Structure 1
Amino acid sequence: MHRCARYRSHAAAASIPALARRFSAAPRLRGYADTLPNLRIGENTRVIFQGFTGKLATANATESIGWGTKIIGGVKPGGTGEHLGLPVLPTVREAVELLKPNATAVYVAAHQARAAIEEAIEAEVPLVVAVAEHIPLHDMLHIHSILKTQSKSRLVGPNSPGIISAVGKCRIGFQPLPCFSPGRVGIIAKSGTLSYETVASTTRAGLGQSLCVGVGGDIAPGTDLRDALSVLEHDEDTDAIALIGEIGGFGELDAADWVRDYRSRVASPKPIVGLVAGINELPIQIMGHAGAFTIPGEPSAQEKIDALSAAGVTIVNHPAKIGDVLKSQLGSGAWTKRPGSGPAGVNTTKQRRQMSTAARRSLFSSQARKSYHAQQTRSLYLKGDAAMSLLQNASPVPCDSSSPPGPQNLLGISIDRTSRSPCILAGPSSTDPKTIQRFPFDFLTGLSTLPLPAIASHLRLPPAPSTLTTLQTHITTLTTLFYTHEAYLLTTSLSPSLTLTSPHFFFDDAAFRIAGRQTGLHSGHTSSSAGLVYLPLPGASRTVGTLVNGAGLAMNTVDALPGLATNFLDTGGKATSETVKASFELILADPRVRVVFVNIFGGLTLGDMIARGVVLAFEEVGVRVPVVVRIRGTREKEGMEVIRRSGLAIEGFEDFEEAVGRVRELAGR
């Protein structure tokens, strides 16, 4: 049964978090990495649903059963009986005992997700797939602290379309089934829409797909790119791999390390094609996905591309190209399903990356400071007097509201995405992100194991007891703020006199919007409406407004129009005619726009519905500039027919390169 009443108070956890419960009875020497084989789903995988009788779960289960997925029942807290002709049980523990599932699909609201995931781990379900967006970050940090203490359950997600075996007809998630065909290509992706594009591309190329793992766009996913690579290496149905990354974290660099090692030890390695979205990211802005932003010291999209390319990954700039590239690398051999494709073992080596060696732009540029609060929609950013007031109220020692001249250290707290835990940020230069080092600590056990002398040494502070005491006080203050107010990034400058100055504080507004927590902090601040994420891009010479469904595809579209796109706009993965109309209103409010590019992949979105939305925008918004529409995927032909029959100044394309070429032509570039 979901145990929302057992939610631990984040305010109470501010100083010393309670110890995590250890759910698994497995030997202590085993760990979370031992659960990697649980990703190998197929035709015999037995699946239950949590939240089984809900509207979304019912629709998804019905479709998945029709496709061939072996769904055996589900859970409704406190409920019993039948649903879709399958048993309904009141708890996951009872479902495990009676139905013996291999996996559970967590279809509950984001504010209930932590309790549901925890319940599945406690019942030792081998694979837990969480699809919800906007689960509060600190809820997920709590879950990761628990996952590390056990060796039975593997998590995929959240903020993920899930995991699907096209070969085994097993879908645990909400992927668009018409795009899939059994085949040879394993796909790993942070972005849902970019993964759907990749699926469609490999289907058109006649390659099909084997196992597709949507690691998701969350800041702390249960399974990362490297985890999935180590499974696909030994998957006998996988002859080639497509890897889709984006800004945020070190995951792509960790994947590059894995690829380099893999290619050095395997005589005939599987070809790997990659794409990384977000080359034109805005500093400190969240680009649609919860985790699509760059924390100080993390690599840029271009640095990730360079690392993957150097490791031997073939890089493309759009997922529509992946099928043809892999087809040329694999040759024309027909795919056949291999018998007995159990895992021969997995490579579970994980390198902890402490510091970026790549230069980064200054995090707090003047342009970003001017535009951030007005445009950011998925977090709360405090700076200046507001941040200083919060810091001074929390600190037992004085903090300086002015920044003294001369060099200063950087001291802060954020998320180490590789270890999936909080970390102290420390750098001997507050203006050079490449000097930042991360010192992770467990979310539930707190600062007890933090290497204070090592942090002082990296900051080039003298090892005097008084210095260490002051440093400890500052770290405790920042950690208290991190827990109490559910932050994801707090940075300050540390002056030579060991005084904290120049705070920049970022808080997860999902805790407020989704879970109803942090009402005092977030009162008076507004979030986005209509599910749209719109960010204007600076530059007077930019003239192309973009309208895209899905954060990854939106980033990739901006990347394809360097210096031309006036905005990033993610309508969400389930765009409707109404959201298209609202998007046009936002785009056309920018006087720079001379042409609009609508780039839609119809995975969950219907192509003809989007086309009708574009026509509606012409009629009701009064579009006076040329519009280029590219629609692929579900009902793409019907969508193109709507465009052709409209008689309006709309040009329709199916091919991405052709559409981009026409946009450039209309923009005079």
Structure 2
Amino acid sequence: MSSAAFLRSCRASAASTRLAQSSRSSFSTTTKLAGYEDTIQNLKIGQHTRVLYQGFTGRQATANAKESIAYGTNVVGGVKPGTTGEHLGLPVLPDVRTAVKELKPDASAIYVPGNGTVAAMEEAIENEIPLMVAVAEHIPLHDIMRVQQMLRTQSKTRLVGANCPGIINTWGRCRLGFQPLPFFKEGNIGIVAKSGTLSYEAVASTTRAGLGQTYCISMGGDVLAGTNFVEAFEIFEHDDKTEGIVLVGEIGGRAEIDAAEWIREYKKRTPNPKPFMAVIGGIESPMGRVMGHAGAWRSPGEATAREKIAVLEKEGVVVVDHPEKLGEGMKKLLDGRGRSTGGKAASGPGAMQKRGYHTMRQRPRTVSHAVPSTAQKRSLIIKPEQGLDMLRERGIKVSGANGNGKMLAISVDRSRRMLCVVASPTSEPSQVYQQSRRYPFEYGSNDATSDAMISQIAERLQISDPAKPGIKNLIEQLVDLYMKKEAAVLRTTIAISDAGEVSVTDAGFRFDDAAFRSSKRQEDVHALRDFDGEVPEELAAEKEGMAYVKMPGDGTLGTIVNGAGLAMNTVDALIARGGHPANFLDTGGKATKETIKASFKIVTSDPRVKAIFVNIFGGLTLGDMIANGILLAFKDLDLKVPVVVRIRGTNEAEGQQLIRDSGLKIDAYGKSDCYGHGTILMFVADSFEEAAARAIELAAGKS
């Protein structure tokens, strides 16, 4: 089906749904139109949930299904296109339609490889499966925008993901995804997270504190999430077992801002509100970079990590700088809630939370080391002049810099899950967040250039009527370029002459690398990539399937971390404790011993590095595999710098034992001052604080 036909189909479906709803409600005093928000309750999984696997017989799906079945998940069968049979003692059916008819699933775990993920999601929507969980990474942005368009026009199917570890309910023993099960425990904390590895840290922390969890819902690290913080809160608010709520966020989008606004209203309507805690990654992330996750970057007018933290704290959310603190912190908040209220309402909204907050060491306040960077990350950003050339080819006037112009961009409104025009009367970076406004429009429509929209944008830009035709033409060309070349954000700085003539003085264009990498689309755009201008370590990491960002300044501490959120948080936390990280390195969620060895080679190629901190929390990543990779690096690379290792998560005990039995010198921290060159390794079983402190000391040359 063509894109245009697809959109017509979506709109027709939406109109049909609304008409049917209106007809059913014709004798009611109020009419509620059905929509995607009506699917939030589908997140309430449990023992009753009948789970279908799409891509059932694949290697990863098979291993995952075995674990989930052993955990107690009610897996009823799966789909393999064109095949009827049996797998793991359960039925295999040839298509989703047949599976829905015969197995009546409540949820689908999508493990279809490659480009098939999008088609699998479309099948789940078309057959009205109440919940679908997509764990896949690297889905092209414009493909997922079309899926989001489908979701908005119906009221039956809810999406969790993509690019996420899934959803789990501990009390119902129901798991859709690949969460590390040994760390989950029936309890009273609801967790919703953008980052998989940070969510695992949060789970482990609340389990160690004796609290456990109710639900852990993944928002995922993509630009557009099927389920966001606010929608998860709707479940936690009304779940009797959930007593405290944890939010794990990061740079990119405004989901954390939306969450703060929801919390404000929740506390107004609730006499004894549940306490909230949060950790936000990316405080120290260099401007303009994509930090591992596809969605971990700021588009024009979006808040920084620090600004998100400030907004959350204003609403009484306790924000900590490392997830290890969430368990004991939440215990204090829950204790304060009971002690201060005696089961009755506190003296005011958030009163309990603020008292609990002051009993804890506050999150360290850091001074940003982030500076603007023009280097690319995985070919997403083209040079400003190349962007201006694209506009010239479309007949847009380009002029020299004209001081502080106005900002006009095409981007994604992540909250509304739609495209949007972003307009600001200033292009000054420090003012754009406060001054900009977003004007959403449907994917593939002409709404962005309607008279009503242009009038609103012109008013925000503070321009007169003579400039409106030029603004309309620029937006029209930007939208067309965005759609045809699969852009992620097209930002321009514009100048307006006294006669109302519009010209572009600067361009910041970012394109979706997943479209090129997964489907070889947009080769002409990605041919513009200037490899000679990129950082060698970043190119080497890219070839290994990892994300590396060289941090500015005199960084002396190399970092090797699995998972983008955890890698961002590790850099943030090290800087907050006086460390000087030399790099951000995300090995990816499926790190192997070979990628760990490659990580060491890349990190030690930076002559600034005086010590290395390996911080791993395993989900799909296995602790013993990581340990073998570290040992392989020591054997083959002749490492000359001390290494601090923290392994937690799946197979952590096996990994720890491998290192103990390796024959390498193990520093017991404080019991040995033997630090020369060679195979010196310090192992920490649990504490991030202890590991971070030792790594910082070693990088500073202290024995």
Give me the TM-score of the superposition, normalised by structure 2.
Answer: 0.85
Give, in whole Å, the separation in 1 of the partners of 2:562 and 2:634.
19
Distance 2:600 2:392 in 1: 44
| Match for residue 280 of structure 2 among 276, 280, 293 | 276
User: Match of 1:113, SS?
Assistant: helix
The answer to whether 1:574 aligns with 2:590 is: yes
Q: Tell me, what secondary structure is at the counterpart of 1:631?
A: strand
Describe how 1:220-619 pairs up with structure 2 within 5 A: 220-331=224-335, 367-369=372-374, 372-373=375-376, 376-377=377-378, 379-393=379-393, 395=394, 397-400=395-398, 402-432=399-429, 433-434=432-433, 435-447=435-447, 451-464=453-466, 467-496=467-496, 497-523=501-527, 525=529, 528-540=542-554, 542-562=555-575, 564-619=580-635
Q: Amino acid of the residue matched to residue 549 of structure 1? A: N
3-state SS of 2:246 partner: strand
Taking a change above 3 Å as real, the CA distance of residues 44 and 454 of structure 1, as seen in their structure-2 partners, is same
**1:322 offset after TM fit, Å?**
1.1
Question: Contact 1:544 / 1:593 at 8 angstroms: preserved in 2?
Answer: yes
Query: Offset at 1:17?
Result: 8.4
Measure how far apart 1:457 and its partner are. Answer: 1.2
Q: Do the aligned residues in 2 keep the contact of 1:163 with 1:172 (CA within 8 Å)?
A: yes
Q: Please name the residue that 1:655 is paired with.
A: 687
- Structure 2 counterpart of 1:493, one-letter code: T
The secondary structure found in structure 2 opposite 1:233 is helix
Amino acid at match of 1:27: Q
Structure 2 residue aligned with 1:353: none
Answering whether residue 658 of structure 2 is matched by residue 642 of structure 1, we say: yes
3-state secondary structure, aligned to 1:381: coil
Which residue is equivalent to 2:219?
215
Secondary structure at 1:186's aligned position in 2?
A: strand
Q: Secondary structure at the match of 1:199?
A: helix
**1:643 Cα shift?**
2.4
Which residue identity lines up with residue 584 of structure 1 in the other structure? Answer: F
> What is the CA distance between 1:269 and its match in structure 2?
1.5
How far did 1:471 drift?
1.4
Of residues 189, 192, 201, the one that matches 1:188 is: 192
Q: Is the CA contact 2:131–2:157 (under 8 Å) kept in the aligned structure 1?
A: yes
CA distance in 2, matches of 1:578, 1:113: 27
Secondary structure of the equivalent of 2:191?
strand
Residues 67/446 of structure 1: CA separation in 2 closer, same or farther (3 Å cut): farther
Deviation at 1:18, TM superposition (A): 7.9
Structure 2 distance, partners of 1:53, 1:471, is: 53
* Cα distance, 1:181 vs structure 2: 1.4
Question: Do 1:425 and 1:439's aligned partners in 2 also have CA atoms closer than 8 Å?
Answer: yes
What are the superposed Cα offsets for residues 565-597 of structure 1, whole Å, 9 maximum, x if unpaired?
Answer: 110000011211111111111111111111110
| Contact 2:178/2:619 (8 A) holds in 1 | no
Q: Spell out, residue by residue over 1:149-192, the C-alpha distance to the aligned partner (whole angstroms, 9 max, x if none).
A: 11111111000101011111101111111111111111100000
Q: Does structure 1 retain, via aligned residues, the 8 Å contact 2:187–2:214?
A: yes
How big is the shift at 1:103? 0.6
Q: Please tell me the residue identity of whatever aligns with 2:13.
A: R
CA distance in 2, matches of 1:147, 1:110: 21
Q: Measure the CA separation in 2 of the matches of 1:159 and 1:620.
A: 34
- Does the CA-based 8 Å contact 2:401-2:506 persist in structure 1? no
Q: Could you tell me how far apart the structure 2 residues matched to 1:333 and 1:437 are? A: 38
Instruction: Tell me the equivalent position of 1:340.
Output: none
What is the CA deviation profile of residues 177-225 of structure 1, one whole-angstrom value per residue up to 9, with x for unaligned ones?
Answer: 1111111111100000011111111111221111110110111001001
Report the 3-state secondary structure (helix = DSSP H, G, I; strand = E; otherwise coil) of the residue aligned with 1:22: helix
Is contact 1:140-1:220 (8 Å) kept?
yes
Give the one of 125, 133, 136 matched to 1:132: 136
Contact 1:142 1:444 in 2 (8 A): no
Q: What SS does the aligned partner of 1:514 have?
A: helix
Contact 1:165 1:212 in 2 (8 A): yes
Shift of 1:22: 1.8
Match of 1:37 in 2: 41
Gap change, CA 1:7 and 1:120, over 3 Å in 2: farther
Work out whether residues 17 and 443 of structure 1, in 8 Å CA contact, stay in contact via their aligned partners in 2: no
Structure number having the greater helix percentage: 2
Report the CA distance between 1:80 and its aligned residue.
1.8
Give the stretch that moved more between structures: 295-304 or 91-100.
91-100
Cα 1:446–1:20, aligned 2, differ >3 Å: closer, same or farther?
farther
Match for residue 22 of structure 1?
13
Q: Distance in 1 between matches of 2:76 and 2:264?
A: 41
3-state SS of the aligned residue for 2:333? helix
Task: Indicate conservation of the 8 Å contact 1:110/1:133, yes or no.
Answer: no
Taking only aligned residues, the RMSD between alpha carbons, in angstroms, comes to 2.4
The residue identity in structure 2 corresponding to 1:459 is L
Over 3 Å counting, the alpha-carbon distance change for 1:183 and 1:49 in structure 2 is same
1:8 to 3, 16, 22: 3
Kindly provide the amino acid, as one letter, of the partner of residue 633 in structure 2.
Answer: A
Using the alignment, how far apart are the partners of 1:231 and 1:221 within structure 2? 17
Amino acid in structure 1 at the alignment position of 2:191: I
Give distance in 2, aligned partners of 1:500 and 1:333: 55
Contact 2:250 2:280 in 1 (8 A): yes
Q: What is the CA–CA distance in structure 1 between the aligned matches of 2:188 and 2:226, rounded to whole Å?
A: 25
Give the Å deviation of 1:90. Answer: 2.2
Identity %: 49
Q: What TM-score do the two structures reach when normalised by structure 1?
A: 0.89
Q: Comparing 434-443 with 283-292, which one deviates more in the overlay? A: 434-443
Query: Does the CA contact (< 8 Å) of 1:19 and 1:445 recur in 2?
Result: no
Contact 2:170–2:185 at 8 Å: present in 1 too? yes
Q: Provide, for residues 77-105 of structure 1, a one-character-per-residue CA deviation record: whole Å limited to 9, x for no partner.
A: 22222222222222222222221111111
Does the 8 A contact of 1:246 with 1:292 survive in 2?
yes
Alignment deviations for residues 355-394 of structure 1 (CA, whole Å, 9 cap, x no partner)? xxxxxx99x97x512xx12xx12x421123322222222x
| Deviations 1:417-451 (CA, angstroms, capped at 9, x unpaired) | 11111111211112242322211101143426561
2:224 & 2:505 partners in 1: Cα distance? 29
Partners of 1:284 and 1:294 within 8 A in 2: yes
Counterpart position of 1:342: none
3-state SS of paired residue (2:624): helix
Report the more deviating stretch, 296-305 or 518-527.
518-527
* Aligned-partner residue type, residue 318 of structure 1: H
| Shift of residue 7, structure 1, vs aligned partner | 6.0
Shift of 1:398: 3.9
Alignment of 1:621-640 (within 5 A): 621-640=637-656
Amino acid at match of 1:532: M
Q: Tell me, which stretches of 5 or more residues in structure 1 are unaligned?
A: 1-5, 335-360
CA contact (8 A) 2:384 2:509 kept: no
The total of aligned residue pairs comes to: 621
Contact 2:267–2:273 (8 Å) recurs in 1: yes
C-alpha separation in 2, matches of 1:552 and 1:292: 9
Greater relative contact order (Cα < 8 A, sep 6+): 1
Is the Cα contact below 8 Å between 2:10 and 2:149 reproduced in 1? no
Match of 1:171 among 168, 171, 175: 175
C-alpha spacing 1:531/1:398, structure 2 compared with 1 (3 Å): closer
Residue 32 of structure 1, CA deviation: 0.9
- The SS at the match of 2:574 is coil
Q: Does the Cα contact within 8 Å between 2:410 and 2:482 map onto a contact in 1? A: yes
